[in-house]
Amino acid sequence: MTVKKVFSKIALLTSGGDAPGMNAVIRSVVRTCVFHKIVPIGVSKGYDGLIKGNMSEMNARSVKGIINKGGTILKTARSKGFRTKAGREEAFENLKKNNIDGLIVIGGDGTFTGGLIFSEEFNFPVIGVPATIDNDIFGTSHTVGFDSATNTVMEAIDKIRDTASSHNRLFFIEVMGRDAGHIALNTGVAAGAEEILIPEENLGLDRLIQSLKRSQKTGKSSSIVVVAEGDNTGENVFQLKDYVEEHLSDYEARVAVLGHMQRGGSPTCFDRVLASRLGVKAVESIINGETISMVGLQNNIVKLTPFKKAIKGITKINTELLKVSDIMSI
Ligand code: F6P
């Protein structure tokens, strides 16, 4: 007969780049712990806080008024120390010293890689909650923060469109996504971009020129090219602008780099609901003895994916969106 482990304290931390909705996950994890008579322990500044022992008890009231707030009240970091065995040993000692018997990590694939190594090294229960604006985690259709960031970007592009069409200008708008084009692709379609450049596909500079020529011929008063940070042309937005101005002298082009404003702001309704659902599942999974996995949304059902799969798996871009964008931008 297997005896079910009883959890008395569960620690939680946010790690990697912040994302709108991280606070909503924290709130959900904390309140689910309290609901199940488990003491939630908040760790400050990601894995660094675990190494330094920066942690304190939370309760249902310590997460009041944060569901609508951007950023993370627990702070976040990309920890170098946790990449070392010595750092992880210190983290384990701190968890033991504080009688903590489970850990919930909120972040992206770097966060889960740390969680996987730690969990295997010390046989310690760890569950992950995907929160990154990039939406590049395998095992969930949506990461917490993606919907909010895409809405922020869409609104920014709408505003740029106003000035672009007043001046008959072409704008190159750089959005986040070092390795993934989900933000660019979705916001490009939503804001009616003429072209979308992403890391996953190289459509070539010739095609860009042809498409912009066509836009001019068909009487468009402005053009928007949405460019993901890590786009596949090998050129950055400023080089792209120069290239187009060299080849199409009629165009007056400008560049807008949206930068870190994409990571801020109040989370959308979708992200708040997603965060709340994933937080509950994360705590209940640990309680039920399921570990070394990530909670995620699959066909609108909350499910677990082992860390190993979530980290190795590659999220595919929706190629249908490329086709839709092509047709819409005639
Ligand atoms: O949060 C993910 C991400 O937004 C990437 O798209 C981006 O390249 C990166 O973070 C930049 O983050 P930082 O400035 O924190 O290194």
In the chain the domains, ranked by start, together with CATH numbers, are 9-145+267-312 (3.40.50.450), 147-263 (3.40.50.460)
Ligand 1, atom 1, residue with closest C-alpha? 17
Using DSSP's 3-state secondary structure scheme, residue 214 falls into helix
Check residue 2 and give its pLDDT.
54
Check residue 234 and give its pLDDT.
86
Ligand 1, atom 13, residue with closest C-alpha? 17
Catalytic (active site) residue 147: no
Check residue 1 and give its pLDDT.
55
SS3 readout for 168-194: CCEEEEEECCCCCCHHHHHHHHHCCCC
Check residue 203 and give its pLDDT.
79
Distance 20 CA to ligand 1 centre (A): 13
Check residue 184 and give its pLDDT.
98
pLDDT in tens, the chain (330 residues): 556 778 899 999 999 999 999 999 999 999 999 999 999 999 999 999 999 999 999 999 999 999 999 999 999 999 999 999 999 999 999 999 999 999 999 999 999 999 999 999 999 999 999 999 999 999 999 999 999 999 999 999 999 999 999 999 999 999 999 999 999 999 999 999 999 999 999 878 998 999 999 988 898 889 999 999 999 998 999 999 999 999 998 889 999 999 999 999 999 999 999 999 999 999 999 999 999 999 999 999 999 999 999 999 999 999 999 999 999 999
Token pair listed for 208 = 């860009």
> 138 and 243 in contact (C-beta within 8 Å)?
no
One-letter amino acid for residue 79 of the chain: S
Q: Is 229 in the pocket of ligand 1 (CB under 6 A)?
A: yes
Cα 301 from Cα 215, distance rounded (Å): 42
Q: Which of 48, 101, 109, 134 is catalytic?
A: 134
Q: Which residues are 306's β-sheet partners?
A: 293
Q: Is 133 in the pocket of ligand 1 (CB under 6 A)?
A: yes
pTM assigned to the model: 0.96
Q: 163 CB contacts (<8 Å, ≥6 apart)?
A: 169
Token pair listed for 40 = 């939630």
